[in-house]
Amino acid sequence: MRIDAVSIFPEFFDALDLSLIGKAQREGLLDLRRHQLRDFTVDRHRTVDDTPTGGGAGMVMTPEPWALALEHVLADAGRNPSPREDEPGQRHPAGEPPVLIVPTPAGELFTQRTAEELSEREHLVFAAGRYEGIDQRVTAWAGHHFEVRPMSIGDYVLNGGEVAIIVMVEAITRLLPGVLGNPESLEEESHADGLLEYPVYTKPAVWRGLEVPEILLSGNHARIEEHRREEQLLRTRRIRPDLYAKHIVAQEQAARREAEGD
């Protein structure tokens, strides 16, 4: 998979050189390229922001450096960065377009399903906003070259898109074949089947007076599985009633379909 990340603070992405994602890069499973947005400015001060049109607080990222940076990424990936935008046939030339992910608290919520879906794509491009965000016309323009996905990592506001990008890149790339030592661990994790994971324990069996549930020491795998499923359901109902309700609805639908002989 190829990932390009554009930012005025590309140093943030150095965190992705550590641990399993760093190893994935060194092993060639992931080609992560970082770009300094200011390299695509044309003025002496390398300006990337201006006052909001219509007034208001803060600054807004100007569109032209973004277009130049994204055109550079397209050209570098071997795509024609400037097809005639009025020609419908030129929209998304040759093959699957790269996905442009624009982090924003005003975007679609990024979930494990989104991570799974994006892990199947060949080329992802991330655009880190700062200040009050990027001039809205950038996403309209980018739609001629990319599949554009404004994405939020949660209902809170960060200072910039870099940390959100690190979150998304890690969630997506750990799903790539070969990145995790034991891919089976993906199947049992929280959110894999819409529920939270059961509580986990390791040795010693008694630690500071606290015991692990006896059943986990029984060696009876069927009973252990049953116990873990119960714990999963209890924990999800207590901590995430929204997920639990969805799970119950999905189960009822599956039971109805089965009864109808689907």
Ligand X SMILES: C[S@@+](CC[C@H](N)C(=O)[O-])C[C@H]1O[C@@H](n2cnc3c(N)ncnc32)[C@H](O)[C@@H]1O
Feature table: binding site for S-adenosyl-L-methionine: 129, 153-158
What is the closest distance, in whole angstroms, from the C-beta atom of residue 129 to ligand X in the complex?
A: 3
The stretch among 6-14, 99-107, 201-209, 216-224 that binds ligand X (CB under 6 A) is 99-107
Number of residues located near ligand X, criterion CB under 6 A: 19
Residue among 8 and 128 whose Cβ is closer to ligand X: 128
Residue among 53 and 159 whose Cβ is closer to ligand X: 159
Cβ-based neighbour number of residue 9 at 10 Å: 15
What is the closest distance, in whole angstroms, from the C-beta atom of residue 52 to ligand X in the complex?
A: 10
- DSSP conformation letters of 58-107: S-EE-HHHHHHHHHHHHHHTT--S---TT-GGGSS-SSSPPEEEEEEEEE
Residue among 74 and 135 whose Cβ is closer to ligand X: 135
- DSSP conformation letters of 140-185: HHHTTTSEEEEEESSSS--S-HHHHHHHHHHHHHTTSTTTSS-GGG
From the list 241, 237, 120, 243, the residue with the least C-alpha distance to 193 is 243
**65 belongs to the binding site for ligand X (CB under 6 A):** no
Q: Mark residues 138-177: x for contact with ligand X by CB under 6 A, - for none.
A: --------------xxx-xxxxxx--x-------------
Residue among 9 and 201 whose Cβ is closer to ligand X: 9
3-state secondary structure of 123: strand
Residues with Cβ within 8 Å of 135's Cβ and at least 6 positions away in sequence, in order, are 60, 61, 62, 63, 66
3-state secondary structure of 31: strand
Q: Which of 10, 16, 100, 104 forms a contact with ligand X (CB under 6 A)?
A: 104
Distance CA 157, CA 160 (A): 9
What is the closest distance, in whole angstroms, from the C-beta atom of residue 102 to ligand X in the complex?
A: 7
Residue among 15 and 29 whose Cβ is closer to ligand X: 15
**103 belongs to the binding site for ligand X (CB under 6 A):** yes
Residue among 51 and 218 whose Cβ is closer to ligand X: 51
Identity of the residue numbered 242? D
The stretch among 14-22, 38-46, 101-109, 202-210 that binds ligand X (CB under 6 A) is 101-109
Binding residues for ligand X restricted to 117-136, rule: CB under 6 A: 128-130, 132-133
Residue among 5 and 195 whose Cβ is closer to ligand X: 5
Binding residues for ligand X restricted to 218-257, rule: CB under 6 A: none
Residues with Cβ within 8 Å of 142's Cβ and at least 6 positions away in sequence, in order, are 70, 100, 148
What is the closest distance, in whole angstroms, from the C-beta atom of residue 191 to ligand X in the complex?
A: 18
Cα Rg of the chain (Å, integer): 23
Q: Are 36 and 66 in contact (CB under 8 A)?
A: no
What is the closest distance, in whole angstroms, from the C-beta atom of residue 231 to ligand X in the complex?
A: 31
Parallel/antiparallel/unpaired status of strands 210-211 and 206-207:
antiparallel
Residues that bind ligand X (CB under 6 A): 103-106, 128-130, 132-133, 152-154, 156-161, 164
